[in-house]
Amino acid sequence: AQTVTQSQPEMSVQEAETVTLSCTYDTSESDYYLFWYKQPPSRQMILVIRQEAYKQQNATENRFSVNFQKAAKSFSLKISDSQLGDAAMYFCAYRSEGNRDDKIIFGKGTRLHILP
């Protein structure tokens, strides 16, 4: 069974600085998808970024980028120029490719604090 591990329960970063959130996963599959979701205090789940495992190039969305290391099964999220609105829980997540398994598997989350 696939698992997702986030080893940092909480992190803090100064506004305008850069922070990296760690995530490792375990799978025997070769094709899959990885995600980072943001959950602000409103509890709404917001997709931040998505990575297809077959793509070697790291995904980027504005100030958010990932470092995807397939061999190491590592998928970290880098937030550049941190803003107060980035304060939230961040969840790393995994999904199998195709119709083998439709569920998304989430890590336990990292709570990110932005210090003004």
Partner 1 sequence: NAGVMQNPRHLVRRRGQEARLRCSPMKGHSHVYWYRQLPEEGLKFMVYLQKENIIDESGMPKERFSAEFPKEGPSILRIQQVVRGDSAAYFCASSRFRGPYEQYFGPGTRLTVT
Q: Interface with partner 1 by CB under 8 A: which residues?
A: 4, 33, 42-47, 50, 91, 93, 95-99, 101-109
Q: For partner 1, give the closer residue by CB, 43 or 116.
A: 43
**Minimum distance from CB of 75 to partner 1 (Å)?**
15
The two structure tokens encoding residue 36: 């980072």
**Minimum distance from CB of 41 to partner 1 (Å)?**
12
CA 43 to chain centroid, in Å, comes to: 17
Q: For partner 1, give the closer residue by CB, 18 or 44.
A: 44
Which DSSP state fits 102?
A: -
Of 110, 33, 105, 21, residue with least CA distance to 70: 33
| Dihedral of the alpha carbons of 78, 110, 13, 67, in degrees to the nearest 10 | -10
CB 36 within 8 A of CB 66: yes
Of 78, 56, 79, residue with least CA distance to 68: 56
Q: For partner 1, give the closer residue by CB, 18 or 40.
A: 40
**Minimum distance from CB of 44 to partner 1 (Å)?**
5
Q: For partner 1, give the closer residue by CB, 75 or 91.
A: 91
**Minimum distance from CB of 14 to partner 1 (Å)?**
25
